[in-house]
Amino acid sequence: PQTVRLADYEPPAFSVDAVDLTFDLEPQRTVVTAVLQLRRTGGAPGGPLVLDGENLDLLEVLVNGKKLSPPAYETSEDALTVFDPPEALTLETRVAINPKANTRLEGLYVSNTMFCTQCEAEGFRRITYFPDRPDVMATYRVTLRGDKAAYPVMLSNGNNVSNTDLGGGRHEAVWEDPFPKPSYLFALVAGDLAMVEDRFKTQSGRDVTLRIFVEHGNEDRCDYAMDSLIRSMRWDEERFGLEYDLDIFNIVAVSDFNMGAMENKSLNVFNAKYILADASTATDADFANIESIVAHEYFHNWTGNRVTCRDWFQLSLKEGLTVFRDQEFSSDQRSRPVKRIQDVRALRARQFPEDSGPLSHPVRPDAYIEINNFYTATVYEKGAEVIGMMQTLLGQDGFNDGLRLYFERHDGQAVTCDDFVAAMADANGKDLSHFKRWYSQSGTPEVTVTSAYDAGKKAYTLTLEQMTRPTPGQSEKQPLHIPLRIGLLGANGGDLDLVSDSGALDGGLVHLTEERQTVTFTNIPDRPVLSVNRGFGAPIALNTDQTDADLAFLMAHDSDPFARWEAGQQYATRLMKAAVTAMASGEAGDPKGQDAFVAAVKNILEDNSLDPAFKALAITLPTEEFVGEQLPVVHVDEIHAVRAALRRKIGADLQAEFRAAMAANEVREPFAPTAEQAGRRALRNAALAYLTADYGPEAAKLAKESFDRADNMTDTIAALSILTEVDGPERSAALEAFETRWKDNAQVMDKWFALQAVASRPDTLSHVKALTKHPCFDIRNPNKVRSLVGAFAMANPVRFHAKDGSGYTFLADSVIELDSLNPQVAARMLGTLGSWRRYDADRQALMRSALERIVAVPVLSKDSYEIASKSL
Ligand code: DPP
Ligand code: ZN
């Protein structure tokens, strides 16, 4: 397979001004007629016109109305070449495609009985021949023809300009999108769908019709998505002055979808999982995801659609920025500190390992084999962190000015990350060239902070050092511009005024730009307690000389909620690391050291100034994966044992406190998906999890009671996740009751599969294998694969990494089977094998042989080949 490089970028030889598409929709043979108005804009004079196209059955080609035959044109596996084209031409092609046979779910496909599309990044070329690259922007007119009874609803981008009965049971709908767009934003949907409608009036008075289309029977589960959409539209006006630009905005929920959702112009297509929700079927986390993803796709209308990417290396231009925007939105709708903690947890769980492994790449990658593999945590989440740091450097007003200039300059264009940073810099008269290294340098910077207190001078000096380890293809690293928010706590726990050798520190912000810097704070009466990287303002790993007592002090007093949470995480990680290291070398640990930590947890539980959502996060131990990341070798079994033991100890030592927390946070009023109620449920269920941490008979009883009493999915899942671990009859009773009640609801059954896949019981793999034969499981449905195979491989370290290699064998078998059906999802599943270097020699060998087995498959997709070969 070929590598595509940023350095090889060339502007398109031909641009398309207008596209006219006609679809005669039939599940097994859809005929697509495309009329393109093309004009030469680059390339070699007189050179051929080359259009992308894959899996298309070409029926005819006409240039300026004249039918061509070979050798005037030629087709290959992935292109149509027209020789000696005029400088400007009308090209008409007719192709036939088979949507029903499309298991890749890229291009036009059938989900249940509806037609839908997914074109990002390169799906449009599976619909028709086209220069399928984001810097070719055209206006689209789309005619859809289909059976009236089977497809009463037929949608595309823009405005519905006509509807005609064609007779013979067929009808036609015509849509026109006035905004030029790249092909990846094209969409069509046709099916027998139910619809929910609302309205929104924009700040300048435009009346927008909002519609959500779902399969029949799901109409009453759209309220929260609709409400989220309306709140997003208002928020984008208030925060950024960005207003919606058409009279209609449609969302369609689809059961079979490779990603979360897709921002096609005015026709967002969603994985049904991120639309459908009510109290009985969705957890609080589901509601929060729906809110943020609906917002994310809506926000793309400006950051992605009106201004798009020049090429796919610039993906973070739209994704990092739009993730930043949806994070800001959720922070404003809910609790900002809680949102920040959740985002950092996700960043550490997904992006940090990616950035320290074989697939490490910069926020703006410079090479790929398959672009689908670069919809990564680095491009999305680290990209959002980079945007957030820019806002820190420029201030919120400066950042807003920069965004305004970006739209002034680039509305209607396909641009680069450089263009974005230039707008930010120019609007603020700042030089961001050093900062820009964040886009091109991969790896997580490690910052080491050492402190010295001079009692005589009342001076406190910090030495800050940064280092980024080599990553594949980048052995030399440069220092980055790292904004660090710092606080110094006095003996009473309050923040000291920060006056440094370089003047007063506004908001405690220190700019670390060199490899090594020192900063001295003056007028510090006693040795303070250091709080550093408050708010997790920079996506770095930190080493400090804080003592256990310092961490307990920060847990109790830090005025920055993120730092307060972080202190607890670091404290717990220290204890668990020490215990794992002791256990792995056959020594007895020092469980006494854990008592002070338990006392700090007790403090948190009893601190009435803290909101329940924060408390729930603060008492949750770092994951096994996170602890593993901090160790030189991931001792899978020891980490699992140590974490479980610490949870049991906390549960046993604080029984009374957890019972009190459960009682105090019981939600008695009717369910509402608010952050406030969600916080109480989270704390109540975290307390329940501690009280049942030994999974013994009493725990089984308590969890089963909670399961039986639950009147919402959050409490149900919390109880069931405990019950999947126990050995008594309560386990199967609960799993069966759940299955009986929900077997007809695909989204809910996904949860049932996932819970069983992440159980740490020794027999989990045999359950997972049996579940692949369950009538609700379907390897063609990405959500099911992610719930069962994905959850097992990515969220069950102790069973996936079983010493006998059975987990790896199962994953490799699944990936190989899936690769021939849906390469994009297959490649996602196998990423977890890439961390093999982090394990002991036996596991290394087993993981590598699983990867080698995948690479050796004779017909392997580019997607899986790239991930597997780079992992080796
Ligand atoms: N562009 C989509 C999103 O992130 C993913 N394909 O919103
Ligand atoms: Zn996006």
**What CATH number should be reported for the domain holding residue 162?**
2.60.40.1730
**Angle CA(73)–CA(79)–CA(83) in degrees, nearest 5?**
25
Which ligand is located closest to the Cα atom of residue 263?
Answer: 1
User: What pLDDT was estimated at residue 75?
Assistant: 98
Predicted local confidence at residue 592, as pLDDT:
76
* Shared domain check, 6 and 138: yes
Structure tokens at 1: 């397979």
The percentage of the chain sitting over the pLDDT mark of 70, rounded to a whole number, equals 100
Ligand 2: centre distance to CA 260 (Å): 9
pLDDT for 394:
97
Question: One of 172, 297, 629, 638 is an active-site residue; which one?
Answer: 297
Nearest residue to 611 via CA among 688, 664, 668 = 664
Is 296 part of any domain?
no
Is 144 a pocket residue for ligand 1 (Cβ < 6 Å)? no
Alpha carbon of residue 245 to chain centroid = 27
- On whether residue 714 sits in a domain, the answer given is no
Q: Are 618 and 337 contacting, i.e. CB atoms less than 8 angstroms apart?
A: no
| Residue owning tokens 């999108």 | 177
Regarding whether 473 and 615 lie in a shared domain, the answer is: no
Count up the domains in the chain and report the number: 5
- 859 SS3 class: coil
Domain boundary among 409, 440, 471: 440
Rounded distance from Cα 259 to ligand 1 centre (Å): 7
Strands (E), 25-158: 30-40, 49-52, 57-63, 66-67, 73-75, 79-82, 88-97, 107-111, 114-118, 138-147, 153-156
Q: Are residues 805 and 870 in the same domain?
A: yes
User: Is 239 part of any domain?
Assistant: no
Three-state SS string over 384-431 comes to: HHHHHHHHHHHHHHHHHHHHHHHHHHHCCCEECHHHHHHHHHHHHCCC
| DSSP SS3 for 482 | strand
- Give the model's pLDDT for residue 845: 98
pTM above 0.95, yes or no: yes
What backbone torsions phi and psi does residue 579 show, to the nearest 5 degrees?
-70, -40
How many angstroms is it from 262 CA to the middle of ligand 1?
A: 5
- Residue 710 inside a domain? The answer is no
Ligand 1 binding pocket includes 259 (Cβ within 6 Å): yes
Distance from C-alpha of 548 to C-alpha of 553, rounded to nearest angstrom? 9
What is the domain-level CATH number for residue 526? 2.60.40.1840
Atom number in ligand 1 closest to CA 260: 5
What is the 3-state secondary structure of 160-192?
EEEEEEEECCEEEEEEEEEEEECHHHCCEEEEC
CB-ligand 1 contact for 263 (6 Å cutoff): yes
Q: Are residues 469 and 486 in the same domain?
A: yes
Q: Is residue 461 part of a domain?
A: yes
Residue having the nearest C-alpha atom to atom 1 of ligand 1: 262
Closest protein CA for atom 5 of ligand 1: 262
Please work out whether the CB of residue 419 comes within 6 Å of at least one atom of ligand 1: no
Global ipTM: 0.98
In a domain, 348, yes or no: yes
Contact 797, 628 (CB under 8 A): yes
Residue 413 phi, psi dihedral angles, 5° rounding? -115, 165
Say if ligand 1 is within 6 A of residue 296 CB. Answer: yes
Question: Is the Cβ–Cβ distance between 49 and 13 less than 8 Å?
Answer: yes
Atom 3 in ligand 1: which residue has the minimum CA distance? 262
- Shared-domain flag, residues 390 and 457: no
Helix (H) or strand (E) holding 209: strand 207-215
C-alpha 536 to ligand 1 mean position (Å)? 25
Q: State the number of CA atoms in the 13 A half-sphere of 541 facing the CB.
A: 17
What pLDDT was estimated at residue 272?
A: 98
Q: Are residues 499 and 456 in the same domain?
A: yes
Q: Which ligand is nearest to the CA of 120?
A: 1
Q: Could you identify the residue written with the tokens 């290396």?
A: 313
Does residue 506 sit within a domain?
A: yes
Whether 297 is a known active-site residue: answer yes
- Same domain flag for 118 and 138: yes
The domain of 468 spans: 446-538
Mutate which of 259, 274, 329, 376 for ligand 1? The one with the most ligand atoms within 8 Å of its CB, which is 259
* The pLDDT value given to residue 588: 79
**Residues 465, 432 share a domain:** no
Q: Do both 670 and 795 map to the same domain? A: no
Which residue among 297, 326, 327, 378 is best mutated to probe the pocket of ligand 1, counting the most ligand atoms within 8 A of its Cβ?
Answer: 297
Helix, strand, coil shares of the chain as percentages rounded to 5? 45, 20, 35
Same structural domain for residues 488 and 567?
Answer: no
* Residue 198 within any structural domain of the chain: no
Measured distance CA(294)–CA(662) in Å, rounded: 32
Q: Using the 3D structure, point to which of 496, 511, 538 is the last residue of a domain.
A: 538
Which ligand number lies closest to the CA of residue 318? 2
Starting from the CA of residue 326, give the closest ligand. Answer: 2
Residue entry with tokens 């919606």: 244
Summarize pLDDT for 362-396 with one digit per residue, the tens: 999 999 999 999 999 999 999 999 999 999 999 99
CA-CA-CA-CA torsion for 364, 370, 373, 374, nearest 10 degrees? 10
Structural contact between residues 433 and 317, judged by C-beta atoms closer than 8 angstroms: no
Say which CATH number the domain at 768 has. Answer: 1.25.50.10
Work out which ligand 1 atom sits closest to the CA atom of 120: 6
Domain boundary among 161, 191, 221: 191
Token reading at 118: 């997914």
Q: Which of 375, 378, 825 is the pocket-test mutation for ligand 1 (most atoms within 8 Å of CB)?
A: 375
In terms of domains, do 460 and 560 share one?
Answer: no
What does the alpha-carbon distance between residue 819 and residue 800 come to, in Å, rounded to a whole number? 20
CATH number of the structural domain spanning residue 373:
1.10.390.10
d(C-alpha 139, C-alpha 119), whole Å: 16
Within this chain, do residues 417 and 459 fall inside the same structural domain, yes or no? no
Q: Chunk the chain into consecutive blocks of 10 residues (it has 872) and report each block's average pLDDT, rounded to whole numbers.
A: 97 98 98 98 93 98 98 98 97 98 98 98 98 98 98 98 98 98 99 98 98 98 98 98 98 98 98 97 98 99 98 98 98 98 98 98 98 98 99 98 98 98 98 98 98 97 98 97 97 95 82 96 96 98 97 98 98 97 88 91 96 98 98 98 98 98 97 98 98 98 98 98 96 98 98 98 98 98 98 98 98 98 98 97 98 98 98 97
CB distance 381 to ligand 1 below 6 Å: no
